[in-house]
Amino acid sequence: MPELTTTPAGAAAKLPRHIAAIMDGNGRWARLRGLPRSAGHAAGAETFRRIATYCRDLGLEHFTVYAFSTENWKRSADEVDAIMGLLKKYLLESIEKMERDRIRLKILGDTSALSGELRELIDATDAIARRLSGCFQANVCLNYGGRDEIVRAVKRFCSEHPAGELTERALSDSLDTAGIPDPDLIIRTGGEYRLSNFLLWESAYSELVFSDVLWPDFTPEDIDAAIAEFARRDRRYGGVTS
Ligand code: FPP
């Protein structure tokens, strides 16, 4: 995999509005240190906090992460509990600090399968987020799958508009990501080259950057490098370069 290079000037010239990240490599990061996988997720949650703050400071509008997929329930109960515990901790912190930090938190995914406690915390963050307009938004995908999101969106559209025509615009407006611009750049850490059911509809024209760095080790310099790589890309959306 080629090394990413950092050119902050180029990055500033073409800043994405929305970066999304597949935070892969927490388990391997922990194993390399002889730690339980939960320690890798705890370190990964700290990296999320650092990178989200950095994206806010750069002037991005959205940063979206894949925290727990519809397939991640296959993991051990201990690991699932550890991830849910970290999400609870982060939601509690957000309720306390969202207004001060100007980071609007939004949970995306099918929250109906989550514990009542988590759902109450999500409702509380949503209520605060509604009062905060025009600020940076961190989106956390939780019990999220791209295919599941599309199926739920179609069902939502059909129940809300029984006689309506399903168009691309209408489907976009029925997704969990309604109102959020499609990600300009999707970064996957941990050395794997796939989307793993992440933002399948929204990624139609996203630029993809893959990094070998394990997510807990991912730094603001790595974000700069990914943005610099993004700035070098020629986005044609099916057209031709003028
Ligand atoms: C993928 O790495 C990571 C996950 C499935 C969980 C990510 C969750 C967190 C970082 C914690 C909570 C998040 C927030 C936003 C507070 P992996 O476990 O598949 O790594 P591996 O491929 O090395 O095993």
Kindly list the catalytic residues: 24, 72
CB 109 within 8 A of CB 71: no
Residue located nearest, by CA, to atom 5 of ligand 1: 68
- In this prediction, residue 242 carries a pLDDT of 62
- Contact at 8 Å (CB) between 140 and 104? no
141 lines ligand 1 (CB under 6 A): no
C-alpha–C-alpha distance, residues 72 and 14, integer Å: 35
What is the residue-level pLDDT of the chain in tens, covering all 242 positions? 333 334 444 445 589 999 999 999 999 999 999 999 999 999 999 999 999 999 999 999 999 999 999 999 999 999 999 999 999 999 999 999 999 999 999 999 999 999 999 999 999 999 999 999 889 999 999 999 999 999 999 999 999 999 999 999 999 999 999 999 999 999 999 999 999 999 999 999 999 999 999 999 999 999 999 999 999 998 889 898 76
Rounded to the nearest whole angstrom, what is the distance from the C-alpha of residue 163 to the centroid of ligand 1?
Answer: 41
Ordered domains of the chain (ranges, CATH): 5-100+116-145+183-232 (3.40.1180.10)
Which pLDDT does position 214 carry in this prediction? 98
- Between the CA of 23 and the centroid of ligand 1 the distance, in Å, is 6
Sequence letter at residue 92:
L
Looking at residue 13, its pLDDT comes to 56
Closest by Cα among 168, 218, 207, 156 to 184: 207
Residue by residue, DSSP assigns 92-126 as HHHHHHHHHHT-EEEEES-GGGS-HHHHHHHHHHH
Nearest alpha carbon, ligand 1 atom 3: 24
Residue 66 Cα, ligand 1 centroid: separation in angstroms?
8
Q: Is the CB of 106 under 6 A from ligand 1?
A: no
Taking alpha carbons only, the member of 64, 77, 147, 150 closest to residue 108 is 64
Looking at residue 3, what is its pLDDT? 39
Amino acid at site 37:
R
67 pocket-lining for ligand 1 (C-beta < 6 Å): yes
Report whether 226 contacts 4 (CB < 8 A). yes
Intra-chain end-to-end CA distance of the chain, in Å: 30
Half-sphere CA count of 41, side-chain side, radius 13 A: 18
pLDDT at 7: 40
